[in-house]
Amino acid sequence: MTDTRWAANNRRVLGAAALCLGLVTATAANAASGWQAAGSFTGARARHTTTPLGDGRVLVAGGQSGATALATTQLYDPATGQWTNGPALPGPRTEHTATLLRDGTVLVAGGDTGSASTNASAMFDPHAATFTAVGAMAVRRARHVATLLTDGRVLVSGGRGTGGQEALRSAEIYDPVTQSWDGTSQMPGMGKRQHSATLLRDGRVLIAGGLDTGESPSNTTALWNPATGAWTSTAPLPGNRLDHTATLLPDGRVFVAGGTDGANSLSTTLLYNPANDTWSAGPALLAARSLHAAALLPDGRVLLTGGENLAAPLATAEIFDPGTQQMLTFPSMAQARSRASTLLLPTGDVLTTGGEGINGALVTAERVRTSVFTRQGTANLPSGRTQHRATLMPSGDVLISGDRVGGSERASTLRYRPDSTSAAAAWFGLPPLQQPRSQHTQTVLADGRALVVGGWHVSTLSSSEIYDEATQSWTAAPPMLGHRYDHTATLLPNGTVLVAGGSNGTPLPTSSAETYDASSNQWLAAGSMSTERSRHTATLLPDGRVMAAGGDGFTNGGGPQATVEFYNPATRQWSSGPAMSVPRSGHQAVALKDGRVLVLHRDLSSAAIFDPASNTWQGAAAPQATRTGYSATPLPDGRVFIAGGRVGNTDIMLTELYNPTTNTWEPAQSLGQPCSDHTASLLATGKVLIAGCGAELFADPVRSSAPQITNASPATLSTGTTLALTGLRFAGDSEGSGGNTGQSATHVPLVSVQAVDGGPAIWLTAQASSETAFTTRAVPAQAGIKPGLYRATLYVNGMASNSVLLNGQAAGAPNPPTNVTATPGNAQVTVSWQAPVGGTPPASYTVTAQPGGASCTVLAPATSCTVTGLTNGTTYTFTVTANTAGGNASAPPTGGVAPAPGPGGGPGSGVQSVPTLSQWGVLLLAMLMLVAGVRHRKAFD
């Protein structure tokens, strides 16, 4: 073992020992996480805009590097942490504004082209990935402020005009319905630029400070009323300031921080109360700063980042707590930044991009989480349980069945009702299982009932039974074809349940698999895996296949194994996949928000991530301490919550959060009591229910003004569905300003849906939205909706609402691809095809090579894919399968093609077009493969 690995292992061992001895305190767990690198984008920039999009991504537009204005844009995906190039702006611009509108488009207005300010406006459509020119403003302006009004229009005020540093008095209104600008009355007094604009709760806009027409710092303020279109002067600031931030607090007051008086950066803060038009002093900043950024956090606090003092950029950050009226220390950024842009993401992270550093414009970004996952009390579990199963049901309740107590299995079942506005959380008894059991599986069917299968009681069980939430009763289902416990059960895209592996009545691991069809109430054989598996994992991939990984084997000599294989529901066949780097059994697998799969070792001594797109495994950071018997829960924000476990025979209270975007582990508050072999269920409320050693909830702290969904229609989700949500506070409680003010909030609601078991998030952009309603555009086929429960969540100001549960319904199967060709290369073959005509549009395509089963997967509309890891000189056939949530369809296999080294796959080979086989050819190939399979099996008999 290397010194580095020895040190890392020692840290984990010492950490585990400290946990057993109770030496890890809540104080350490409550420390905020530090800033993490969020990648680099193309083109260093400052004075740019950063805008959240309705599809979950972030648009970074324009800005300047040195004296050069930029026309380039970048797109950031918080789920993957990846930057990609976006379409160019219609022209270079800096010190402009970019405002997300209620239909999901982004209005880019004004700015400086590098030679003069402009009145040009453009609209960015995330669906088409294009900018389109819209009506020009009446006045050229830069360093202005844009504010999204409650009625969906945009108010643009002040800025620098065409006459050098001239500050403008004028204001204009953009109407997205007519895509045109209308003038409104001028601001009172002198013009303004580098001021702030804050949307108040009553819909008025507060303008404060800035530079006036005479290039003097100003203390004047004004209120604009959208109902009358009139301006009124209000109480002036206690002192002059510009380049400050102004943030609406949850209690309706406005927090003004820092800025400059024209000579020095300020450390003073102010609080404005619209109720009585008064200003009062706030706490002094820990560091004087101007040209900084502000982000309203989900818990109601305000994070201030960067800026400059004495012309030097700052890396420091601090938090204003309205409850205590104090400024709190916060970890500094990795790089000093002024004129950066900061945004609160729906993940709960704060993202800061670019800015001016010590040596000029920056090309990097950072992100940080400001909250700690916190324990909350709930109704106490009637009695302790272990090795039971817990499943979220369509009603939002949690079903708990079976367990093992004192060495014996029980048939006891319980129902947990989460707290709501009308009732407190509570536990209710249910009729017992028809068969006592533990080590079984529990799966919610496409029709909303729960299927309980197999397990152990005295001996291995083959029985299955079904719970109906409507009648709160259990009924017998047909027994499985075989006996098994420590198996897996996976709801497939076609609505059937795949049960695979486990230990049989011998008891030895088995390779057999079968599917349960609720519509016919019967079990059917589903082939056999290539090896026996027990205590393995089975994970549904975005393309509809199931990945079975590791487990205890038998023919391999027993014990954990590293092998992996895939089940294809369309063909009901198993094929081999890339092996894990280490053998595993009793481990856990979690579907991540970006489509990858996190695998955690049984004792958390290692972790790895499988990427279906590249068909490869990647290393992942290991937690701070090893333990077994823990729970792993995927959260809507993309993190994975690890709770409890045991070290040796001692249960522990440790919890941690894994962030796959940064590949880091974050602390969370400890459990209320040591616990292992418990269950963890993500509720529709966004909280995680831990049940076993009592019951408790975990969640990020949020303020009482969080948005709330009260109804969703329809209750089903499928391709083409237009989802209508109604509720409260869909317009948020903060302004949607952009540009040089550094404001990060947007009160345009964003909506995502995600399977309750984790996996990719599907962002549904708005067709229309208001304070109390949100109507999505139709769900695209690429969303790949599958049968099962989904949670719909609405975000405003980066703060999540409660979730509503929807029943996923798969679309129909696609037609098969056509005109498949194969081009050999060095140890690889590139396969191309034409998209199928008719049927449901595919969400993805999978290319599988035989022999060996190597594969590659691409998302539609791509029509080519390169299968790597092949052996030169070996002849392969390739099958292209079109995938939707409703099924799969494959083209006939190609003829044989052999990869070879050298240009084009070998001397003189060039590009080789390989026709697909005829039906007779397919039959002949199948017979040859059957004979080969028989010989292969006999070799091991």
Q: What is the pLDDT of residues 369-403, one digit of tens each?
A: 988 899 999 999 999 999 999 999 999 999 999 99
How remote is the C-alpha of 688 from its chain's centroid? 17
Q: Which residue has tokens 């536990």?
A: 427
pLDDT class of 920 with cuts at 50, 70, 90: very low
Q: What DSSP state is assigned to residue 781? A: G
Question: At residue 932, what are phi and psi to the nearest 5 degrees?
Answer: -65, -40
Phi first, then psi, for residue 642 (nearest 5°) are: -105, 125
User: Which pair of structure tokens corresponds to residue 402?
Assistant: 């079976």
Determine the pLDDT at residue 126.
93
- Statement: residue 13 has pLDDT above 50: no
């009763």: which residue's tokens? 473
CA distance 637 to 750: 13
Q: How many CB atoms lie within 10 A of CB 663?
A: 15
Q: Report, as an integer, the average pLDDT of 574-600.
A: 96
Residues 6+ apart with CB under 8 A from 658: 598, 607, 620, 621, 623, 639, 640, 642, 664, 665, 666
d(CA 862, CA 475) in angstroms, rounded, equals 46
Residue 528 has pLDDT above 90, yes or no: yes
Q: How confident is the model at residue 733 (pLDDT cuts 50, 70, 90)?
A: low
381 and 427 in contact (C-beta within 8 Å)? yes
Q: Output the pLDDT for position 8.
A: 38
- Which of the pair, 289 or 922, is modelled with greater confidence? 289
| Token pair in block for residue 531 | 């090896």
Mean pLDDT of 39-46: 96
pLDDT in tens, 136-152: 999 999 999 999 998 88
* Cis peptide bond N-terminal to 714, omega within 30: yes
pLDDT at 570 over 90: no
The pLDDT tens digits of the residues spanning 838-858 come to 777 887 888 999 998 888 988
Report the distance separating Cα 656 and Cα 643, nearest Å: 7
Output the CA torsion sign for 612, 616, 619, 622: positive
Half-sphere exposure of 466 (CA within 13 A, CB side): 20
From the CB of residue 560, how many other CB atoms can be counted at a distance below 10 Å?
20
Task: Give percent of the chain above pLDDT 90.
Answer: 73
Instruction: Write out pLDDT tens, residues 768-783.
Output: 888 899 999 999 877 8
Cα–Cα dist 205/186, whole Å: 14
Which pLDDT score, from 0 to 100, does residue 406 have? 86
- Residue 309 and residue 587: Cα distance in Å, rounded? 52
pLDDT band for 162, please (50, 70, 90 cuts): confident
Question: Tokens 């990060």 label which residue?
Answer: 744
In order of 492, 501, 574, 878, 926, the CA distances from 543 in angstroms are 11, 22, 15, 17, 25
Q: Which residue has the higher pLDDT, 61 or 781?
A: 61
CA nearest neighbour of 503 among 581, 557, 558: 558
Q: Please tell me the number of Cα atoms within 13 Å of 783 on its side-chain side.
A: 28
Select from 742, 912, 867, 777 the least CA-distant residue to 128.
Answer: 777
Identify the pLDDT of residue 837.
85
CA dihedral 876, 618, 76, 116 (to 10 degrees): -90
Q: What distance in Å separates the CA atoms of residue 27 and residue 155, rounded to the nearest whole number?
A: 45
Instruction: Report the distance separating Cα 434 and Cα 419, nearest Å.
Output: 29
pLDDT of residue 238: 97
Confidence (pLDDT) at 857: 86
Work out the percent of the chain whose per-residue pLDDT is above 70.
90
Q: How many helices and strands, by DSSP H and E, does the chain display?
A: 3, 83
pLDDT at 164 over 70: no
**Span 712-736, average pLDDT:** 85
* pLDDT given at position 735: 55
| pLDDT interval class at 885 (50, 70, 90) | low
CA distance linking residue 707 with residue 534, whole number of Å:
44
User: What are the φ/ψ torsions at residue 29 (nearest 5 degrees)?
Assistant: -70, -25
- DSSP letter string, 292-324: -EEEE-TTS-EEEE--EETTEE---EEEEETTT
Structure tokens at 260: 């400059």
With a CB cutoff of 8 Å and minimum separation 6, the contacts of 6 are none
Q: What is the pLDDT of residue 704?
A: 81
What's the whole-number average pLDDT of the chain?
Answer: 88
Spatial distance between the Cα atoms of 815 and 813, rounded to a whole number of angstroms: 7
723 has pLDDT over 90 = yes
- Tell me the CB-side half-sphere exposure of residue 156, using CA atoms within 13 A: 35
Contact 364, 357 (CB under 8 A): no
- Strand ranges, E, within 631-772: 631-634, 640-643, 646-647, 650-651, 655-659, 664-667, 679-682, 688-692, 694-699, 708-713, 716-717, 724-728, 750-755, 762-764, 766-769
pLDDT at res. 919: 36
Q: 903: pLDDT confidence band, cut at 50, 70 and 90?
A: low
Q: Which residue has the higher pLDDT, 769 or 235?
A: 235
For residue 92, the model assigns a pLDDT of: 97
Q: Which of 119-123, 208-212, 574-578, 899-903 has the lowest mean pLDDT?
A: 899-903
Instruction: Give the DSSP letter of residue 841.
Output: P
- Region of residue 593 (phi > 0: left; psi between -120 and 50: alpha; otherwise: beta): alpha
The whole-number pLDDT of residue 769 equals 87
Mean pLDDT to the nearest integer, 34-60: 94
Q: Report whether pLDDT(674) > 80.
A: yes
Give the tens place of pLDDT for each residue, 449-466.
999 999 999 999 999 999
Q: How confident is the model at residue 914 (pLDDT cuts 50, 70, 90)?
A: very low
346 neighbors 800 (Cβ within 8 angstroms):
yes
The least confident of 3-7, 363-367, 720-724, 813-817 is 3-7
| Res. 932: pLDDT tops 60 | no
8 A C-beta contact, residue 504 and residue 486: no
Question: Phi and psi (nearest 5°) for 258?
Answer: 60, -145
* Residue 838: half-sphere exposure toward Cβ, Cα within 13 Å: 2
Block residue for tokens 């409104």: 184
Higher-confidence residue of 733 and 682: namely 682
Model confidence band, residue 734 (pLDDT cutoffs 50, 70, 90) = low
- Residue 294 reports pLDDT greater than 70: yes
Q: Which residues of 696-725 are buried (b: 16+ CB within 10 A; e: fewer)?
A: bbbbbebbebbbebeebeeeebbbebebeb
pLDDT greater than 90 at residue 263: yes
- Give the position of tokens 């039971």: 388
